[in-house]
């Protein structure tokens, strides 16, 4: 193929936080060590991904719903844990969506192509630089582009997908030479995607499709995060955060459900003040130095109280990415 021709959490639980539920402080609850051992495999490491929270997020979903929407699918930690019967996933990251479509429909061909990759600096830089030459890049098949995407996510630094204004990936190599793909999980992900509609669209597109009784999970680039400007070349800033809140208002008005993750900022607290807010205290490793960890607070916003686990609380979680 053309591609071949041209290129040869750590997790712990510590102090319990308070959870606000429409003015009431819910009873504190800790997670024991057996609970911390639960993990959810995903196709890729993803900055801001919810792999370590997936088990608890599932418990916060409505007891029942019709269709499942997730317009910022990312690594899909919640989606792959829930495996909804009728799923609609989308994202503005074309390479990500193309990859999901290939996993859904051409998984064996993808696996063959993944087997050709090498994990070293020279090879990584050559694969990454493919998008610098559009004549070469545009001749790649969808399978080759999906393979390239998974390779860059595996070989790049800390599960980061970042592009410049020219839509060129500029993530550094992670310096790991002993990596390998989990082909069994990729095949399993393909099975989980079979009843799913996968689209390359803006998050506002769900307004035309979501109906009463449906559910939507939003895990957009966070407010005041560095990722808001580099996840796609279009960026995701204040205007988009306000549009997202307006979409949540619409979902609420038609009798559908939403769950939203975001950073705890003055803007987000003001935007979602009328909804149910839970606070999650995180310790996040943002560099290769394990000593350089920062405490952050995130929020979970929802417009419903009929959670699967009535007393569910997401507590203080330490996550290294």
- 77 contacts 223 by C-beta, under 8 angstroms: no
Q: What is the DSSP letter of 291?
A: T
DSSP E strands: which ranges in the chain?
11-13, 20-21, 24-25, 68-70, 87-91, 196-200, 215-218, 257-263, 276-285, 293-302, 317-320
Q: Taking the mean position of all CA atoms in its chain, how far away is CA 53?
A: 12
Q: For the chain, what is the total number of helices (H) and then of strands (E)?
A: 12, 11
Is 219 annotated among the ligand-binding residues? yes
User: Distance between CA atoms of 216 and 150, rounded to whole angstroms?
Assistant: 26
91 in a labelled binding site: yes
- Does 249 appear as a known binding residue? no
Q: Is 50 annotated as a binding residue?
A: yes
- Spatial strand order of the sheet with 11-13 comes to 11-13, 317-320, 276-285, 293-302, 257-263, 215-218, 68-70, 87-91, 196-200
First-to-final CA distance of the chain: 34
Annotated binding site for S-adenosyl-L-methionine: 46, 50, 91, 219
């Amino acid at each position: 193929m053309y591609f071949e021709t041209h290129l040869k959490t750590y997790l712990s639980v510590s102090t319990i936080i308070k959870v606000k539920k429409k003015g009431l402080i819910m009873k504190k609850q800790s997670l024991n060590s057996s609970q911390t051992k639960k993990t959810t495999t995903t196709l890729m490491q993803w900055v801001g991904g919810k792999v370590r929270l997936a088990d608890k997020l599932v418990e916060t979903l409505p007891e029942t719903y019709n269709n499942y929407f997730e317009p910022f699918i990312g690594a899909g930690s919640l989606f792959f844990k829930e495996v909804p019967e009728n799923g609609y996933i989308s994202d503005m990251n074309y390479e990500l969506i193309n990859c999901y479509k290939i996993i859904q429909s051409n998984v064996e061909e993808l696996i063959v192509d993944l087997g050709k990759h090498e994990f070293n600096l020279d090879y990584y830089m050559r694969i990454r630089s493919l998008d610098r030459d559009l004549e070469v890049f545009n001749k790649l098949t969808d399978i080759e582009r999906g393979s390239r995407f998974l390779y860059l996510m595996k070989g790049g630094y800390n599960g980061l997908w970042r592009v410049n204004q020219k839509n060129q990936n500029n993530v550094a190599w992670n310096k790991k030479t002993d990596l390998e793909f989990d082909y069994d999980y990729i095949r399993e992900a393909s099975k989980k995607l079979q009843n799913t509609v996968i689209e390359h669209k803006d998050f506002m597109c769900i307004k035309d499709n979501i109906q009463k009784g449906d559910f939507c999970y939003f895990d957009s680039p966070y407010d005041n995060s560095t990722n808001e400007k580099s996840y796609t070349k279009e960026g995701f800033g204040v205007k988009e955060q306000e549009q997202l809140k307006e979409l949540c208002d619409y979902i609420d008005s038609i009798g559908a459900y939403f769950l939203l993750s975001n950073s705890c900022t003055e803007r987000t607290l003001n935007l979602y003040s009328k909804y149910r807010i839970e606070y999650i205290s995180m310790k996040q490793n943002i560099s290769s130095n394990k000593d350089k960890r920062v405490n952050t607070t995130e929020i979970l916003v929802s417009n419903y109280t009929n959670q699967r686990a009535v007393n569910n609380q997401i507590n203080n979680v330490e996550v290294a990415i």
